[in-house]
Amino acid sequence: MSKKHEKGHEKEEEQEHGSEREDLWAERDRTLPREGADGSAGEGEDPEEFFKVGLYLLKRNKLQEALAAFKKALYLRDKDPRYISYAGLALALNGRTKEAVLLCEKAVQKEFFRQELFLNLGRVYLISGNRRKAHLAFRKGMALDRENRPLRSELVKMGIRKPPVFRFLDRNHPINKWSGKMLHRLRLR
């Protein structure tokens, strides 16, 4: 092969791969502010920037790219539970549920007071087909903040109802309905 032909071939490959990279990071450049007058992010790369790019891509259902961004954020700061949790969610959405469950459980163990980590854990459990554990994760998140809309929405989507107060009576029995409403108002249930 001649040098001229090789350079032409290299340019074609560079253009193909370059356009993929441009698509991925062009969104980052449009949506995220840059620090510094020269457009650099300061010393080194900022993991938070990659995390934000991952969230942006995840919302747009660009799962492979989101996973790559979360992995880069994790590479730069591997101890952050948010990065771990969202990397787990992206893995689950890409079909790698076993790894995803482990990552999300690890994140919840590190910071058990963050509702968004329980939300991600529950979603990963749902994707993996474990509705019972998903329900428990959502309930634990709701225990931290009863007004959390995404958690409440996931529970409503699941459609799981609490068992009747008096199990020996039918769910529709007036005593079960009335006592269930009263316990709910008193926040005992």
Q: How far apart are CA 132 and CA 9, in angstroms?
A: 54
Same domain, 176 and 146: no
Q: Contact, 140 vs 155, CB < 8 A?
A: no
Same domain, 64 and 154: yes
- Residue 90 burial (C-beta neighbours within 10 Å; 0-12, 13-18, 19+): buried
Copy the structure tokens of residue 163: 């068992």
Same domain, 77 and 101: yes
**Could you tell me which of 79, 97, 83, 29 has the C-alpha nearest to residue 55?**
83
Domain residues for the domain of 179 are 163-189
- CATH code of the domain in which 79 resides: 1.25.40.10
Q: pLDDT at position 146, please?
A: 85
Q: pLDDT at position 160, please?
A: 64
- Give the whole-number percent of the chain exceeding pLDDT 70: 76
Same domain, 139 and 182: no
- Tell me what the mean pLDDT of segment 38-55 comes to: 70
Same domain, 137 and 176: no
The reply to whether 66 falls in a domain is yes
2-27 tens-digit pLDDT: 444 444 444 444 444 444 444 444 44
102-160 tens-digit pLDDT: 999 999 999 889 999 999 999 999 999 998 899 999 999 999 988 889 998 998 888 86
Which pTM was predicted? 0.63
- Give the whole-number percent of the chain exceeding pLDDT 90: 38
The reply to whether 61 falls in a domain is yes
Same domain, 53 and 128: yes
Same domain, 141 and 49: yes
State the residue for tokens 């790894």.
99
The reply to whether 18 falls in a domain is no
- Domains identified in the chain, total number: 2
The reply to whether 136 falls in a domain is yes
The reply to whether 14 falls in a domain is no
Measuring CA to CA, how many Å separate 188 from each of 146, 169, 179? 13, 20, 11
Q: Contact, 94 vs 63, CB < 8 A?
A: yes
pLDDT surpassing 90 at residue 28 = no
- Tell me what the mean pLDDT of segment 177-184 comes to: 89
Same domain, 147 and 182: no
Same domain, 86 and 137: yes
Same domain, 145 and 108: yes
